[in-house]
């Protein structure tokens, strides 16, 4: 399962690069939800087809929708075979709980949307992945050009996760305090026998062993702290 997950991630990474080639060198505009399927689509379809998918600019789209045209119009690569739970805090119709079993299950990787932290050493730093800075008033929406990343080999792009968009410290393994009461959510960050997979901006993959890795804000911001 871990090998399959890495294969998925490499395909997604390639799609990210290909998308950027077609979009001024940038990744997708920020999206922070988990939908693939149109409002009146079949939410029970285990694999939504192209005609059922929402547009990538839909405000409730999963970030992977932007890249699915580069993966053969199949969301399968966004389903880690070891995943057991995904972000199911979907509040609009059909108001389902436990959405992992249905058309929402293709949201098992969390994208680096980091911009919030209480660490003053990070305040005001420019983000590598997004046009904006840490703890600025507005949520960054526009992706920065990939070629501008100052430290691509140390800039995390996406990872095994329960959350679909990792926008703050408490969405990442730096501090998962908000999910401390839900072990099944915490486990998704280390879903391969206490190991989590990570993809980096330069194209390499790595593994994170629970309790054996020191997660750094620098990986999400994309530059050294003050």
Q: Please list, in sequence order, all residues whose beta carbon lies within 8 angstroms of the beta carbon of residue 166, skipping any fewer than 6 positions away.
A: 110, 111, 112, 113, 114, 159, 172, 220
Residue-wise pLDDT tens digits, 52-63: 898 999 988 999
Q: How far is CA 52 from CA 33, 55, 87, in A?
A: 17, 10, 21
User: What pLDDT band is residue 91 in, cutting at 50, 70 and 90?
Assistant: low
Residue 167: φ, ψ to 5°: -95, -5
What pLDDT was estimated at residue 138?
86
- In angstroms, the CA 77 to CA 51 distance is 18
- Percentage of the residues of the chain whose pLDDT score is greater than 90: 63
The DSSP symbol for 139 reads P
Predicted pLDDT at 177 = 80
Q: What is the pLDDT of residue 126?
A: 96
* Residues whose CB falls within 8 Å of the CB of residue 51, separated by 6 or more in sequence, listed in order: none
pLDDT, one tens digit per residue, over 118-131 is 999 999 999 999 99
What is the SS3 assignment for 209? Answer: strand
For 83-115, give one letter per residue: b (16+ CB within 10 A) or e: bebbbbebeeeeeeeebbebbbbbbbbbbbbbb
Q: 135-150: per-residue pLDDT in tens?
A: 987 899 999 999 999 9
pLDDT of residue 108: 94
């Amino acid at each position: 399962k871990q090998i399959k997950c890495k294969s998925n991630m490499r395909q997604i990474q390639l799609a990210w690069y290909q998308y950027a080639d077609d979009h001024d060198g940038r990744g997708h505009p920020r999206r922070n939800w988990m939908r693939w399927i149109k409002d009146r689509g079949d939410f029970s379809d285990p694999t939504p087809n192209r005609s059922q998918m929402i547009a990538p600019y839909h405000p409730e789209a999963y970030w992977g929708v932007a890249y699915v045209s580069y993966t053969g119009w199949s969301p399968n690569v966004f389903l880690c075979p070891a995943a057991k739970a995904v972000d199911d805090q979907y509040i609009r119709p059909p108001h389902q709980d436990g959405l992992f079993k249905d058309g929402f299950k293709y949201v098992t990787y969390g994208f680096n949307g980091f911009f919030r932290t209480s660490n003053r050493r990070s305040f005001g730093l420019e983000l590598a992945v997004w046009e904006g800075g840490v703890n600025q008033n507005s949520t960054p929406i526009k992706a920065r050009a990939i070629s501008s990343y100052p430290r691509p080999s140390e800039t995390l792009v996406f990872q095994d996760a329960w959350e679909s968009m990792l926008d703050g410290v408490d969405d990442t393994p730096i501090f998962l305090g908000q999910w401390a009461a839900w072990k099944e959510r915490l486990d998704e960050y280390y879903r391969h026998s206490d190991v989590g997979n990570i993809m980096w901006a330069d194209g390499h993959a790595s593994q994170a062993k629970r309790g054996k890795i020191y997660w750094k804000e620098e990986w999400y911001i994309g530059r050294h702290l003050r």
